[in-house]
Amino acid sequence: MNEWINNPLLKNIDPIKLELIQKAAGQVSGKSGKDLAPIMLALITSANRQGIQFSQNEISLILEILKEGKSEEEQAQIDKTIQMVNLLVQKNMKS
């Protein structure tokens, strides 16, 4: 599952963000799509506490990478997670 780290779209991400992503990826390994929401929310919250904000594109990219190798049902759940996380990010950006 660590092939995602070689995704060329990740090479321009801040190293601190990449470290947070790696921690989250370790937590989601082997989990179902519905378990991603709390992990992603914890990732965003932890980053915000450190003064780091993920863009919507970065979050979507992370979740797209995590969808690799998942069943269609799990991918659909991840899509719901993407929508929920994007709403949270929009809300945080307005605050």
| CA–CA dist 87, 68 (Å, integer) | 23
Q: What is the pLDDT of residue 18?
A: 85
Residue 5 lies in a domain: no
Classified as helix, coil or strand, 2 is: helix
| CA–CA dist 34, 54 (Å, integer) | 21
| CA–CA dist 37, 84 (Å, integer) | 8
pLDDT per position as a tens digit, 11-37: 888 888 888 878 777 777 777 666 776
- Which two structure tokens, joined as six digits, stand for 31? 């989990």
In the chain, the number of structural domains is: 1
Residue 6 lies in a domain: no
Residue 3 lies in a domain: no
Residue 8 lies in a domain: no
Q: 85: exposed, middle or buried (C-beta count within 10 Å: 0-12, 13-18, 19+)?
A: buried
78 and 70 in contact (C-beta within 8 Å)?
yes
pLDDT per position as a tens digit, 31-66: 766 677 677 778 778 888 889 888 877 877 777 777
Structural domain containing residue 42: 13-94
